[in-house]
Chain A
Amino acid sequence: MSTSTLEIGDEAPELRTDPVTRAQIVRYAGAGGDFNPIHYDDGYAREAGMPSVFGHGLLAAGIVSRLAHRWLGLDNVRAFGARFTGQFFPGDVLTCGGRVVDVRRAGSDRVADCELWLRRENGDEVVRATATARIA
Protein backbone atom coordinates (compact mmCIF):
# COMPACT_ATOMS: atom_id res chain seq x y z
CA MET A 1 0.00 0.00 0.00
CA SER A 2 1.52 3.32 -1.01
CA THR A 3 0.69 6.50 0.83
CA SER A 4 3.36 8.42 -1.08
CA THR A 5 0.92 10.65 -2.95
CA LEU A 6 -1.23 11.70 0.02
CA GLU A 7 -1.92 15.44 0.23
CA ILE A 8 -4.01 17.66 2.47
CA GLY A 9 -7.64 17.43 1.37
CA ASP A 10 -7.38 13.92 -0.10
CA GLU A 11 -10.41 11.82 0.78
CA ALA A 12 -10.67 8.12 1.49
CA PRO A 13 -12.91 6.01 -0.71
CA GLU A 14 -16.08 5.67 1.35
CA LEU A 15 -16.86 2.38 3.06
CA ARG A 16 -20.50 1.35 3.51
CA THR A 17 -21.50 -1.58 5.70
CA ASP A 18 -24.33 -4.08 5.28
CA PRO A 19 -27.13 -3.48 7.78
CA VAL A 20 -25.82 -4.16 11.28
CA THR A 21 -27.35 -7.27 12.81
CA ARG A 22 -27.75 -8.48 16.38
CA ALA A 23 -25.68 -11.48 15.27
CA GLN A 24 -22.79 -9.19 14.38
CA ILE A 25 -23.03 -7.44 17.74
CA VAL A 26 -22.99 -10.82 19.51
CA ARG A 27 -20.02 -11.87 17.37
CA TYR A 28 -18.18 -8.72 18.44
CA ALA A 29 -19.09 -9.32 22.11
CA GLY A 30 -17.31 -12.68 21.91
CA ALA A 31 -14.36 -11.40 19.90
CA GLY A 32 -13.76 -8.36 22.10
CA GLY A 33 -14.80 -9.96 25.38
CA ASP A 34 -17.43 -7.32 26.24
CA PHE A 35 -20.55 -9.06 27.49
CA ASN A 36 -22.36 -5.98 28.78
CA PRO A 37 -26.03 -7.03 28.33
CA ILE A 38 -26.87 -3.57 27.01
CA HIS A 39 -25.45 -4.82 23.71
CA TYR A 40 -27.43 -8.08 23.40
CA ASP A 41 -30.43 -7.99 25.78
CA ASP A 42 -33.20 -5.72 24.49
CA GLY A 43 -35.11 -5.77 27.79
CA TYR A 44 -32.01 -4.65 29.67
CA ALA A 45 -31.26 -1.98 27.07
CA ARG A 46 -34.80 -0.57 27.23
CA GLU A 47 -34.69 -0.49 31.02
CA ALA A 48 -31.51 1.55 30.69
CA GLY A 49 -33.42 4.02 28.52
CA MET A 50 -32.24 2.91 25.10
CA PRO A 51 -34.65 2.10 22.24
CA SER A 52 -32.97 -1.31 21.80
CA VAL A 53 -29.58 -2.94 22.08
CA PHE A 54 -26.80 -0.96 20.42
CA GLY A 55 -23.38 -1.89 19.11
CA HIS A 56 -20.14 -1.63 21.05
CA GLY A 57 -18.09 1.54 20.58
CA LEU A 58 -15.11 -0.70 19.91
CA LEU A 59 -17.04 -2.49 17.18
CA ALA A 60 -17.61 0.89 15.55
CA ALA A 61 -13.90 1.67 15.99
CA GLY A 62 -13.11 -1.67 14.39
CA ILE A 63 -15.23 -0.80 11.36
CA VAL A 64 -13.41 2.55 11.03
CA SER A 65 -10.09 0.71 11.33
CA ARG A 66 -11.02 -1.23 8.18
CA LEU A 67 -11.10 2.05 6.28
CA ALA A 68 -7.74 3.05 7.75
CA HIS A 69 -6.26 -0.27 6.62
CA ARG A 70 -7.80 -0.18 3.16
CA TRP A 71 -6.87 3.49 2.53
CA LEU A 72 -3.58 3.89 4.38
CA GLY A 73 -2.27 0.34 4.82
CA LEU A 74 -1.86 -1.44 8.15
CA ASP A 75 1.93 -1.11 8.20
CA ASN A 76 1.85 2.64 7.53
CA VAL A 77 -0.52 3.50 10.36
CA ARG A 78 1.44 4.86 13.34
CA ALA A 79 -1.53 5.98 15.39
CA PHE A 80 -5.27 5.46 15.40
CA GLY A 81 -7.87 6.72 17.83
CA ALA A 82 -11.63 6.93 18.17
CA ARG A 83 -14.01 9.08 20.17
CA PHE A 84 -17.38 7.44 20.80
CA THR A 85 -19.90 10.14 19.97
CA GLY A 86 -23.15 8.29 19.29
CA GLN A 87 -24.89 4.94 19.28
CA PHE A 88 -25.62 2.65 16.37
CA PHE A 89 -28.38 0.04 16.29
CA PRO A 90 -29.34 -3.21 14.56
CA GLY A 91 -30.58 -2.36 11.06
CA ASP A 92 -28.23 0.61 10.63
CA VAL A 93 -26.25 0.92 7.42
CA LEU A 94 -23.07 2.70 8.46
CA THR A 95 -20.88 4.85 6.24
CA CYS A 96 -17.24 5.53 6.95
CA GLY A 97 -15.04 8.18 5.37
CA GLY A 98 -11.86 10.11 5.95
CA ARG A 99 -9.77 13.06 4.87
CA VAL A 100 -6.13 14.11 5.14
CA VAL A 101 -6.01 17.23 7.31
CA ASP A 102 -2.27 17.74 7.73
CA VAL A 103 1.03 16.55 6.34
CA ARG A 104 4.07 17.08 8.55
CA ARG A 105 7.45 15.83 9.59
CA ALA A 106 7.59 13.40 12.54
CA GLY A 107 11.14 12.38 13.38
CA SER A 108 12.71 11.03 10.20
CA ASP A 109 9.34 10.33 8.56
CA ARG A 110 6.76 12.42 6.80
CA VAL A 111 3.28 11.63 8.06
CA ALA A 112 -0.31 12.40 7.12
CA ASP A 113 -2.80 13.20 9.87
CA CYS A 114 -6.28 12.07 8.89
CA GLU A 115 -9.76 12.58 10.28
CA LEU A 116 -12.09 9.62 9.91
CA TRP A 117 -15.75 9.31 10.76
CA LEU A 118 -18.51 6.74 10.99
CA ARG A 119 -22.14 7.81 10.55
CA ARG A 120 -25.61 6.33 10.49
CA GLU A 121 -27.82 6.76 7.42
CA ASN A 122 -29.58 9.72 9.02
CA GLY A 123 -26.23 11.49 9.39
CA ASP A 124 -25.83 10.88 13.15
CA GLU A 125 -22.17 10.49 13.98
CA VAL A 126 -21.14 7.27 15.75
CA VAL A 127 -17.36 7.64 15.88
CA ARG A 128 -15.00 10.50 15.23
CA ALA A 129 -11.55 9.06 14.63
CA THR A 130 -8.04 10.11 13.77
CA ALA A 131 -5.22 8.24 12.08
CA THR A 132 -1.62 9.16 11.46
CA ALA A 133 0.08 7.34 8.61
CA ARG A 134 3.66 7.34 7.45
CA ILE A 135 3.99 8.70 3.93
CA ALA A 136 5.95 6.04 2.08
Chain B
Amino acid sequence: MQQTDEVIESILGVDVGSADFPLESGKIRELAFAIGEDDPVFTDPEAARAAGYRAPPGPLTWPVLAGHWRDGDEMIRRLRVDPGRLLHGEISWEYLRPVTAGMKLHADRQVVDATFKTGNRGGEMRLITVATTYTDGDGAEVARQTDVYIERGA
Protein backbone atom coordinates (compact mmCIF):
# COMPACT_ATOMS: atom_id res chain seq x y z
CA MET B 1 0.00 0.00 0.00
CA GLN B 2 1.52 3.32 -1.01
CA GLN B 3 1.72 5.57 1.98
CA THR B 4 1.72 8.84 0.11
CA ASP B 5 -0.28 12.01 0.39
CA GLU B 6 -1.28 11.38 -3.21
CA VAL B 7 -3.17 8.20 -2.37
CA ILE B 8 -4.98 9.91 0.48
CA GLU B 9 -5.70 13.10 -1.50
CA SER B 10 -7.09 11.13 -4.40
CA ILE B 11 -10.14 9.93 -2.48
CA LEU B 12 -10.94 12.93 -0.27
CA GLY B 13 -14.22 14.50 -1.31
CA VAL B 14 -15.11 11.61 -3.60
CA ASP B 15 -18.86 11.13 -3.85
CA VAL B 16 -19.47 7.53 -2.88
CA GLY B 17 -23.16 7.30 -3.51
CA SER B 18 -25.77 10.03 -3.40
CA ALA B 19 -29.38 8.96 -3.71
CA ASP B 20 -32.98 10.07 -3.50
CA PHE B 21 -35.11 7.57 -1.67
CA PRO B 22 -38.58 7.23 -0.18
CA LEU B 23 -38.79 6.25 3.51
CA GLU B 24 -41.40 3.54 3.22
CA SER B 25 -43.65 1.99 5.85
CA GLY B 26 -43.04 -1.51 4.46
CA LYS B 27 -39.26 -1.22 4.82
CA ILE B 28 -39.59 0.32 8.30
CA ARG B 29 -41.78 -2.63 9.24
CA GLU B 30 -39.33 -5.11 7.72
CA LEU B 31 -36.38 -3.48 9.51
CA ALA B 32 -38.24 -3.51 12.84
CA PHE B 33 -39.03 -7.24 12.49
CA ALA B 34 -35.46 -8.03 11.45
CA ILE B 35 -33.93 -6.45 14.57
CA GLY B 36 -36.61 -7.94 16.83
CA GLU B 37 -38.21 -4.59 17.64
CA ASP B 38 -41.79 -5.18 18.73
CA ASP B 39 -42.96 -1.66 19.56
CA PRO B 40 -46.10 -1.30 17.42
CA VAL B 41 -45.31 2.36 16.80
CA PHE B 42 -42.99 1.17 14.00
CA THR B 43 -45.43 -1.25 12.37
CA ASP B 44 -48.96 0.00 13.09
CA PRO B 45 -50.09 3.37 11.67
CA GLU B 46 -52.79 3.59 14.36
CA ALA B 47 -50.24 3.07 17.14
CA ALA B 48 -47.98 5.65 15.49
CA ARG B 49 -50.79 8.22 15.37
CA ALA B 50 -51.78 7.49 18.98
CA ALA B 51 -48.14 8.21 19.93
CA GLY B 52 -48.29 11.56 18.14
CA TYR B 53 -46.55 10.69 14.87
CA ARG B 54 -48.00 11.38 11.45
CA ALA B 55 -46.99 7.87 10.36
CA PRO B 56 -44.66 5.15 11.68
CA PRO B 57 -41.31 6.74 12.56
CA GLY B 58 -37.97 5.33 11.45
CA PRO B 59 -36.24 3.21 14.10
CA LEU B 60 -32.80 4.55 15.04
CA THR B 61 -30.99 2.64 12.27
CA TRP B 62 -33.46 3.81 9.57
CA PRO B 63 -30.65 5.38 7.46
CA VAL B 64 -29.48 1.92 6.39
CA LEU B 65 -32.59 1.83 4.20
CA ALA B 66 -30.96 4.34 1.84
CA GLY B 67 -28.64 1.51 0.79
CA HIS B 68 -31.39 -0.03 -1.32
CA TRP B 69 -31.30 3.05 -3.56
CA ARG B 70 -27.54 3.24 -4.04
CA ASP B 71 -25.22 1.02 -5.99
CA GLY B 72 -23.33 -0.61 -3.11
CA ASP B 73 -20.43 -1.53 -5.38
CA GLU B 74 -20.01 2.08 -6.45
CA MET B 75 -18.25 2.95 -3.21
CA ILE B 76 -15.82 0.04 -3.64
CA ARG B 77 -15.08 1.16 -7.20
CA ARG B 78 -14.64 4.84 -6.37
CA LEU B 79 -12.43 4.14 -3.36
CA ARG B 80 -10.46 1.62 -5.42
CA VAL B 81 -10.33 -0.80 -2.50
CA ASP B 82 -10.31 -4.58 -2.46
CA PRO B 83 -13.68 -5.59 -0.99
CA GLY B 84 -12.06 -8.69 0.50
CA ARG B 85 -9.90 -6.44 2.70
CA LEU B 86 -12.55 -3.88 3.62
CA LEU B 87 -14.25 -4.04 7.02
CA HIS B 88 -16.87 -1.79 8.49
CA GLY B 89 -15.37 -0.52 11.73
CA GLU B 90 -18.00 1.80 13.08
CA ILE B 91 -21.09 3.81 12.28
CA SER B 92 -22.72 6.73 14.05
CA TRP B 93 -25.65 9.03 13.52
CA GLU B 94 -26.86 12.41 14.71
CA TYR B 95 -30.60 12.89 14.48
CA LEU B 96 -31.69 16.42 13.70
CA ARG B 97 -35.38 16.01 12.83
CA PRO B 98 -37.78 13.09 13.28
CA VAL B 99 -38.54 11.06 10.15
CA THR B 100 -41.70 9.16 9.41
CA ALA B 101 -42.92 6.81 6.69
CA GLY B 102 -43.96 8.67 3.57
CA MET B 103 -41.12 11.19 3.56
CA LYS B 104 -38.95 11.58 0.47
CA LEU B 105 -35.33 11.89 1.51
CA HIS B 106 -32.01 12.60 -0.14
CA ALA B 107 -28.59 11.30 0.91
CA ASP B 108 -25.25 12.84 -0.07
CA ARG B 109 -22.24 10.71 0.75
CA GLN B 110 -18.54 11.68 0.59
CA VAL B 111 -15.16 10.56 1.79
CA VAL B 112 -14.00 13.03 4.44
CA ASP B 113 -10.83 11.38 5.74
CA ALA B 114 -8.39 8.65 4.86
CA THR B 115 -5.46 7.95 7.15
CA PHE B 116 -2.91 5.21 7.47
CA LYS B 117 -2.53 3.50 10.79
CA THR B 118 -0.47 0.63 12.15
CA GLY B 119 -2.69 -2.01 13.72
CA ASN B 120 -2.19 -3.71 17.09
CA ARG B 121 -0.51 -6.67 15.45
CA GLY B 122 1.83 -4.50 13.36
CA GLY B 123 -0.09 -4.68 10.09
CA GLU B 124 -0.78 -1.51 8.16
CA MET B 125 -4.36 -0.35 7.68
CA ARG B 126 -6.11 2.55 6.05
CA LEU B 127 -9.05 4.10 7.90
CA ILE B 128 -11.53 5.67 5.51
CA THR B 129 -14.19 7.97 6.96
CA VAL B 130 -17.32 8.57 4.94
CA ALA B 131 -19.90 11.22 5.87
CA THR B 132 -23.52 11.13 4.73
CA THR B 133 -26.02 13.97 5.03
CA TYR B 134 -29.73 13.13 4.87
CA THR B 135 -32.18 15.87 3.92
CA ASP B 136 -35.94 16.00 3.51
CA GLY B 137 -38.09 17.28 0.66
CA ASP B 138 -37.51 20.90 1.80
CA GLY B 139 -33.77 20.42 1.86
CA ALA B 140 -33.66 20.49 5.67
CA GLU B 141 -31.12 18.19 7.28
CA VAL B 142 -32.76 15.29 9.10
CA ALA B 143 -29.71 13.21 10.01
CA ARG B 144 -25.95 12.85 9.60
CA GLN B 145 -24.06 9.57 9.41
CA THR B 146 -20.37 8.82 9.82
CA ASP B 147 -18.92 5.47 8.73
CA VAL B 148 -15.38 4.35 9.39
CA TYR B 149 -14.14 1.59 7.10
CA ILE B 150 -10.92 -0.28 7.69
CA GLU B 151 -8.90 -1.40 4.70
CA ARG B 152 -6.41 -4.01 5.87
CA GLY B 153 -3.00 -4.09 4.27
CA ALA B 154 -2.30 -6.63 1.54
Q: How large is the interface on A (under 10, 10 to 19, 20 to 34, 35 or more residues)?
A: 20 to 34
Nearest chain A CB to B86 CB, angstrom units: 11
Complex Cα gap A13–B30 (Å): 25
**Do residues B93 and A31 form an inter-chain contact, with CB atoms below 8 A?**
no
Complex Cα gap A30–B59 (Å): 16
The residues in A between 6 and 34 inclusive whose CB is less than 8 angstroms from any CB of B are: 17-18, 24, 27-28, 30-34
B64's partner among A33, A69, A80 (CB-CB below 8 A) is A33
- Indicate if B44 sits at the interface (CB-CB under 8 A): no
- Indicate if A136 sits at the interface (CB-CB under 8 A): no
Given A30-B30, A32-B64, are A74 and B57 neighbors across the interface (CB < 8 Å)? yes
Q: In the complex, which residues of chain B have a beta carbon less than 8 angstroms from the beta carbon of A79?
A: 92-95
Chain B minimum-CB-distance residue to A26: B34
- Indicate if A110 sits at the interface (CB-CB under 8 A): no
Beyond the given A24-B34, A30-B34, A74-B59, could you list 19 further A-B residue pairs with CB under 8 A, ordered by the A residue number?
A24-B36, A28-B34, A31-B35, A32-B34, A33-B65, A61-B91, A62-B59, A63-B35, A69-B37, A69-B39, A70-B39, A74-B57, A80-B95, A81-B93, A81-B146, A82-B90, A82-B91, A83-B89, A84-B89
